[in-house]
Structure 1
Amino acid sequence: MENKNYEININPDWIRKYLKKIILGIALLVLFATSLRTVGPEEEGVVIQLGEYNRTVQPGLNFIIPFGIERMYKIPVQRQLKQEFGFRTTNSSQRSDYAKSAYGDESMMLTGDLNLTDVEWVVQYRITDSYKFLFRVRNAEKTLRDMSESAMRKIVGDRTVNEVLTVGRQEVASSVEVLLQQMCDEYENGIRIDQVVLQDVNPPEPVKPSFNAVNQAQQERETLINQAEAEYNRVIPRARGEAEETIQLAEAFALNRVNRAIGEAERFNALYDAYVKAPEVTKQRIYLETMERVLPKIGNKIIVDEKGNNVLPLLNIDKVKAPTK
């Protein structure tokens, strides 16, 4: 067989031409990749040019000067953010999981009556000014965490352990929210505090059984006090009502007796005046009125003259039936 040798001639100008196009395409790709930025619907883009603030861009596609001349920071101004103290959420789902063991230094604090308490809370906030958030305070999120812890320790330190653990929880949260917002306004960090929520408040683990026993005793005391007050409210008003009723009856009886006595006295005086004017007529009227009152009360009546003695045996009086009442 005959061997054939093939020779390939490559034109150097052709290689240089296509190499330049490849390099230009790569350069354009890098330029496009480093200059195009996408800002999300809940964000603002803060553009820094050579380390100095230049502008703030809105959501959408935005271009910046590439090769590190301009840099963009995306700030979630429309999103509610939160910071957790004394615990961390490890799994957010229908049933969230929390880790607490490594964050005891954040939550352990001293109350006003020199007792320790374990306070876990959440600060919910929003970024209202992206410029202030980036440039007024260095590391604004870390500063906010320090301010939150300081405000909570101050408010808890002004109250007793019973207030913090029971009736004063809502007041503590509200006071911390107000104080923390004042600090944010003073620092001009561009943050608005939405809410402070006390997640859990407990005594330290070593004294928790004793504290629960004290709480149970206090609750039993409150129960007995409430029962005593209920009994007091049931008995005392009733006794006062009965006493008032007795007093009113006595006053009514006294008033009736006095009025009757006055009336009888006036009647006697009127009768005396009539007797003075006409003695015989007055005596006759008194006699008739007296008989009118007495006769209906004596039952059967037998009227005879003075000389009717022989009539009595004939009347069979002993068999006359007595009047029925």
Structure 2
Amino acid sequence: MEDRNYEVNIDPDWIKKFAPRIIGGFILLAAVVTGVKTVGPEEEGVVIQLGKYNRTVDPGLNFIVPFGVERMFKIPVQRQLKQEFGFRSTDSSGAPTQYTKSSYGDESMMLTGDLNLSDVEWVVQYRIVDSYRYLFRVRNAEKTLRDMSEAAMRKIVGDRTVNEVLTVGRQEVASSVEVLLQRMCDEYENGIRIDQVVLQDVNPPEPVKPSFNAVNQAQQERETLINQAEAEYNRVIPRARGEAEETIQLAEAYALNRVNRAKGEAERFTSLFDAYVKAPEVTKQRIYLETMERVLPKIGNKIIVDEKGNNVLPLLNIDKVKTNTP
């Protein structure tokens, strides 16, 4: 094998001629790369000049002083952001959302007001409404917001019993945390607006979960029995009250009828007695005739004789009169 040496000869005149152009091209390329910035439609750009705030630019193509003299931070002011506590979710395009809970128990494990533990998972949804305050009022605003959210949730949960946190008080806990967290953001002036706080899941710790489930089931059965008893009460008691009221009204009506009839009979007897006193014979005869008028139609065959019983009246067709009488 023969060793072959190749020599490249570069013309010095060529270097002197094209070197400035090459260097200038690199400088121009670097100026374009570092000076032209594109701001997305959901963002706004905050320009920092030599470490100091200079201006805020709108979405679109923007130019800044290149070579690090000015820097731009893109802030998603039109996008809803979220922070997850006690779990993490990964949403890949075309794949179902995956939830990871391991190694995040320190965030979700909390002490309630009655000295019980609860595993609280929640989500904070927020928006950046002031990019200047977001960048310059608070150092590391996202980390600060996470710490404030955890502190607010622990405070609200610590003021309530474990049953309230696990069952009926969940919505109240979420609303209270939202109000408290927004108040803290306004106090810190971090440029963040809280849209919503959602309790993703609230459970007792795993070692005592069967006991809590048994207690909850017993409470639900108790509520069911109470509701059934109240339904039976509402069905039976009003009916009994109605029957009692009906009986009382019937008794009152019967008593009123008897009293009125007694008063009428007494007044009738009094009027008869007054008439009898005025004309005894006439009244006596009238009473006799009225009595016979009521009695005779109720008798069967009738034979009328005189006082001595000798003469019989052959023609006294009282039965026919009774039959034809309507």
Q: What is the TM-score when the length of structure 2 is the normalising length?
A: 0.88
Shift of 1:223: 1.9
Residues in 2 aligned to 1:153 and 1:11: alpha-carbon distance in whole angstroms:
76
User: What is the match of residue 301 of structure 2?
Assistant: 301
Equivalent position of 1:74 in the other structure: 74
Q: CA deviation at 1:304?
A: 2.0
After superposition, the C-alpha distances for 1:183-209 in whole angstroms (9 at most, x for unaligned) are 111111111111110000000000011
- Once the two structures are TM-superposed, the CA of residue 308 in structure 1 deviates from its matched residue by 5.8
Of 71-80 and 23-32, deviating more is 23-32
Structure 1 stretch 9-18 or stretch 190-199: which is displaced more? Answer: 9-18
Check whether the contact 2:38–2:62 (CA below 8 A) recurs between aligned residues. yes
Shift of 1:114: 0.7
Mean alpha-carbon deviation: is it higher for 226-235 or for 37-46? 226-235
Distance 1:179 1:44 in 2: 28
What pairs up with 1:240-259 in 2 under 5 angstroms? Answer: 240-259=241-260
Residue type of the partner of 2:16? R
Aligned to 2:35: 35
Is the 2:85–2:123 contact (alpha carbons within 8 Å) kept by the matching residues of 1? yes
Instruction: Find the aligned partners of 2:297 and 2:210 in 1 and give their Cα distance.
Output: 88
Whole-angstrom distance in 2 between the partners of 1:281 and 1:308: 27
Partner of 2:220: 219
1:26, CA displacement in angstroms?
Answer: 1.4
Q: Kindly report which structure 2 residues correspond to 1:9-28, keeping only aligned pairs within 5 A, or say none.
A: 12-28=12-28
Aligned to 2:52: 52
What one-letter code is carried by the residue in structure 2 that aligns with 1:82? Answer: K
Deviation at 1:219, TM superposition (A): 1.7
Which residue of the partner structure matches residue 319 of structure 2?
Answer: none
- Partner of 1:275, secondary structure, is helix
- Point out the more displaced range, 201-210 or 246-255: 246-255
Deviation at 1:212, TM superposition (A): 1.0
**What residue ranges of structure 1 are gaps of 5+ in the alignment?**
1-7, 315-322
- Map residues 1-325 of structure 1 onto 2, 5 A cutoff: 12-92=12-92, 95-298=96-299, 300-306=300-306
- How far residue 111 of structure 1 moved from its aligned partner, in angstroms, is 0.7
- How far apart are the structure 2 equivalents of 1:245 and 1:153? 61
What SS does structure 1 have at the residue aligned with 2:124? strand
Cα deviation for residue 288 of structure 1 reads 2.5
Segment drifting more, 272-281 vs 101-110 = 272-281
Give SS of 1:167's match.
Answer: coil
Displacement after TM superposition at 1:149 (Å): 0.6
Relative to structure 2, which stretch is displaced further, 278-287 or 155-164? Answer: 278-287
Tell me which moved more, 153-162 or 252-261.
Answer: 252-261
Do the aligned partners of 1:43 and 1:59 also contact (CA within 8 Å) in 2?
A: yes
Q: Identity over aligned residues, as a percent?
A: 84
Deviates more, 1:270-279 or 1:49-58: 270-279
Structure 2 residues not aligned, in runs of 5+ = 1-7, 315-322
**187-196 or 281-290: which moved more?**
281-290
User: Equivalents in 1 of 2:166, 2:153: separation in Å?
Assistant: 14
1:124-151 CA-to-partner distances (Å, cap 9, x unmatched) read 0001111111111111111111111111
Could you tell me whether the CA contact under 8 Å between 1:37 and 1:61 is conserved in 2?
Answer: yes
Asked if the contact 2:305–2:311 (Cα under 8 Å) also holds between the matched residues in 1, the reply is: no
CA contact (8 A) 1:91 1:98 kept: no
Instruction: Kindly indicate whether the alpha-carbon contact (under 8 Å) linking 2:137 and 2:189 is maintained by their aligned counterparts in 1.
Output: yes
Structure 1 CA distance for aligned equivalents of residues 47 and 90 of structure 2: 33
Q: What residue is the counterpart of 2:4 in the other structure?
A: none
Whole-angstrom CA distance in 1 between matches of 2:39 and 2:224: 60
SS at 1:28 equivalent = helix
Aligned residue for 2:104, secondary structure, equals helix
- Whether the 8 Å contact between 2:170 and 2:199 is mirrored in structure 1 is yes
Could you tell me which amino acid in structure 2 is paired with residue 36 of structure 1? V
Equivalent pairs, count: 307
- 1:244 deviation in Å? 1.5
Q: Quick one: distance in 2 between partners of 1:32 and 1:296?
A: 134
CA distance in 2, matches of 1:295, 1:180: 104
The offset of 1:311, in angstroms, is 6.8
The residue type equivalent to 1:83 in the other structure is Q
Q: SS at 1:102's partner residue?
A: coil
Deviation (angstroms), 1:10: 7.5
Question: Contact 1:45/1:74 (CA < 8 Å) preserved in 2?
Answer: yes
Query: 1:231: how far off?
Result: 2.0
SS at match of 1:303: coil
Task: Give the Cα separation in 1 of the matches to 2:120 and 2:294.
Answer: 93
